[in-house]
Amino acid sequence: MKLRIEKCIYGGAGLARVEGKAVFVPLSLPGELLEARSVEERPGYIQAEVETILEASHQRSQPPCEYYGLCGGCHYQHADYALQLEIKRSILSETLERAHLRGLPEIQPVFAAPWAYRNRVRLHIAEQPFGLCYRKRSSHQGLAVHQCPISAPMLEQAIAAVQRVGQSCGIGNFQEIEFFTNHAQDELLLSLWTDRHLPRVGAVLGHFCEALRPEVPALSGAAVYFSQKGKHRVSRAATWKAQSLTYRAAGHTYRVSSGSFFQVNRFLVDHLASLACHGRSGNLAWDLYAGVGLFSRKLAETFDHVIGVEASPSSSQDLHHNLSGTGHQAVASQTLKFLRQQVERKEAPPDLILADPPRAGLGKEITSLLTKVRAKQLVYVSCDPATLSRDLRALLEFGYHVQSIHMVDLFPQTFHLESVTVLLLD
């Protein structure tokens, strides 16, 4: 097929049309003319792969990663960074428009250095031959890697070191490995996952860490997690030294444990916290889906009382620790349960509600409860444009209006995007 790419869509592919049928082409850019071959045809669309680029975009760039195109982790390394930002801003804008959200303020992009930004990476472990792998693009097959240029230098150092010593230490029996480093890259937590009971797992972990530490002196702690196939329950099977690290961000120091959520872009953590919290003050603020308290601690600077709500056991324990001694409150609860209780009590609403839900968004019942609480200000931190659009439509129908929208590029080189939307009650 000879195709002209119209635009890029959420997910990373370029969109073209053949006889009115949508064609999705990864690794293409808007405006490009190319020859492509069909790899999968469905009733409503065609999946295709680039064969030849006949007319390349002037904003096409040479990917610096040797694995790009084969690896499924990145989607936009072939686009210069200015184009990446425009693609994401346009996708967010079009998604909001499709939800019939009109009259919104202009979306403002927020960005930082687009390489070496990740403070956490998770890879699969191949046993024969041994290697640390990402998934191949559009596949479940592993692709062994020795580096990852979107990762912090400490993580690249750790990946290369494990490639050298891992097999001799017996970690080929595990399925996945995760590295997490702090702001200064002077602490590193390592996590291993297995779906089977392994003999002497504690001894294996200790031997591996002692062999790795001379090559990665920042290694401060490690754990093994057991996750039984077909079940969601995860248990910790073994530990080695520290189970948390200290992360300095947004003017505060946080304890972040192995298994707790923390924002992944080490260059934009401060800016994200500022966007969500700066210039807001009052008596009471609720921080929903609070994680370890990144926003809670920031809000505590300007609010008399902050309640951080988090359901994950690991993150909620860190939240309690990070708020201890401040006079503010950590609540270990599902957001839905917390809001139901607050609506039943019929107390005065908070001055601000900040919500940072997972990809599934808030959903119908939580947005309904938020409209009953009637907080004057609502800050919505979202990682999915579709669920954001759905939830915003419900909130605007009730009487909120959007004051500002920022597209925060927490995940350069990939199709993922974050946004911070500020709503005020009319």
The yes-or-no verdict on residue 312 having pLDDT over 80 is: yes
Indicate whether 408 belongs to any domain: yes
169-210 tens-digit pLDDT? 999 999 999 999 999 999 999 999 999 888 999 999 999 999
Instruction: For residue 206, give the nearest of 239, 178, 248 by alpha carbon.
Output: 239
Q: For position 91, what pLDDT does the model report? A: 98
Q: Can you tell me the mean pLDDT for 77-92?
A: 98
Residues 6 or more apart from 267 whose CB is under 8 A from it? 112, 113, 117
CATH code: domain of residue 40: 2.40.50.140
The SS3 of residue 20 is: coil
- Say if residue 225 is in the same domain as residue 273: no
Q: Can you tell me the mean pLDDT for 246-250?
A: 98
- Say if residue 237 is in the same domain as residue 276: no
Q: Residue 268 region, left (φ>0) first, then alpha (ψ -120 to 50), else beta? A: alpha
Q: For position 79, what pLDDT does the model report? A: 98
Share of the chain above pLDDT 70, in %: 100
Mean pLDDT, the chain, rounded, equals: 97
Domain count, the chain: 3
Q: How far apart are CA 271 and CA 370, in angstroms?
A: 26
Domain span at residue 389 reads 107-112+265-425
Instruction: For residue 360, give the nearest of 386, 333, 395, 393 by alpha carbon.
Output: 386
Please report which confidence band the pLDDT of residue 295 belongs to, taking 50, 70 and 90 as the band edges: very high
CATH code: domain of residue 211: 2.40.50.1070
Q: Can you tell me the mean pLDDT for 304-309?
A: 98
- Say if residue 126 is in the same domain as residue 232: yes
- Say if residue 414 is in the same domain as residue 280: yes
Q: Can you tell me the mean pLDDT for 103-121?
A: 98
Whether the CB-CB separation of 311 and 356 falls below 8 Å is answered with: no
Q: For position 230, what pLDDT does the model report? A: 67
Instruction: For residue 350, give the nearest of 296, 319, 307 by alpha carbon.
Output: 307
- Say if residue 293 is in the same domain as residue 415: yes
The single residue listed with the structure tokens 């969109």 is 15
Higher-pLDDT residue of 198, 242: 242
Q: How far is CA 273 from CA 244, 284, 420, in A?
A: 21, 18, 10
CB neighbours of residue 206 within 10 Å: 17
The DSSP code sequence of 346-407 is TPPPPSEEEE---TT-S-HHHHHHHHHH--SEEEEEES-HHHHHHHHHHHHHHTEEEEEEEE
7-62 tens-digit pLDDT? 999 999 999 999 989 999 999 999 999 999 999 999 999 999 999 999 999 999 99
Q: How far is CA 132 from CA 63, 158, 173, in A?
A: 21, 11, 12
- Say if residue 408 is in the same domain as residue 289: yes
Higher-pLDDT residue of 309, 196: 309
- Say if residue 336 is in the same domain as residue 370: yes
359-401 tens-digit pLDDT? 999 999 999 999 999 999 999 999 999 999 999 999 999 999 9
The yes-or-no verdict on residue 269 having pLDDT over 70 is: yes
Among 215, 246, 277, residue at a domain's last position: 246
Instruction: Evaluate if pTM is beyond 0.85.
Output: yes
**Kind and range of the H or E run holding 158:** helix 153-165
